[in-house]
Amino acid sequence: MILLEDVNKTYSQGAPALNGISLKIEKGEFVFIVGNSGSGKSTLIKLLLKELEPTKGRICVNNRDLGKMKRREVPRFRREIGIVFQDFRLLKDRNVYDNIAFAQKVIEKPNRSIKKRVPQVLTQVGLSEKYKSFPKELSGGEQQRVALARALVNGPSILLADEPTGNLDPKNSWEIMKLLEEVNKRGTTVVVVTHNREIVDAMQKRVITMNKGVIVSDEEKGGHYYADKYVSL
């Protein structure tokens, strides 16, 4: 569960990046967050990961108040959250297997567990035959599936996807979204930041629209991409 209560975030200069955001995302939901550049989407993601601290307000993730969380508790908290970025962020000097295994080694999983778990997630994302390949040998869609497998390997309760189809063609974009939908059906809460109007309109999920640091629309299942109409606000 994700809860924000009257959250503000102001950087050293300029208008607030977030201004009075209140939001609740229930366990097991699939939610799109849309909005034009500068609307506050990236700031929101960083707050949820506790990479930034709010200027004002309260944030709870998985029933934990992030404002009361001690610094030493942050790494363990982040293990509960998977994150997928637009630019994949794979380790170029390691093959597919080792890229995914790295996420398990960080949390000191034993080798026997890694050898069992990595093939499982590779099968889940349809890349079981590519485990020896290096990132440069993969297409963009395949690299994003590796990134997704890495995000899933530790069994996160929440998956945050920040523009996961931004560098992909339409076919690969849909393949990634289908995988995210399957992950959600297995019980993981999925939050997707995107500019992809076609995908948002077709998938009929909850859609939260942001503009200039505020939520201007929150449509339940069956929502649509309306970000453009708020440009002049």
Q: For residue 233, name the pLDDT band (cuts at 50, 70, 90).
A: very low
Distance linking the first and last C-alpha atoms of the chain: 31
What six digits make up the tokens of 111? 């080798």
pLDDT tens-place string over residues 95-147: 999 999 999 998 889 999 999 999 999 999 999 999 999 999 999 999 999 99
Residue range 64-80: mean pLDDT, rounded = 92
SS3 label, residue 100: helix
pTM, to two decimals: 0.92
Sheet with 18-25, strands from edge to edge, namely 18-25, 2-9, 56-61, 64-65
| Domain spans of the chain, in order of start | 1-80+157-233, 91-155
Domain 1-80+157-233 has CATH 3.40.190.10: no
- Per-residue pLDDT, 226: 81
- Per-residue pLDDT, 73: 93
Separation between Cα atoms, residue 212 and residue 167, nearest integer Å: 25
Residue 61 half-sphere exposure toward CB, CA atoms < 13 A: 24
Bridge partners (DSSP) of residue 10 are none
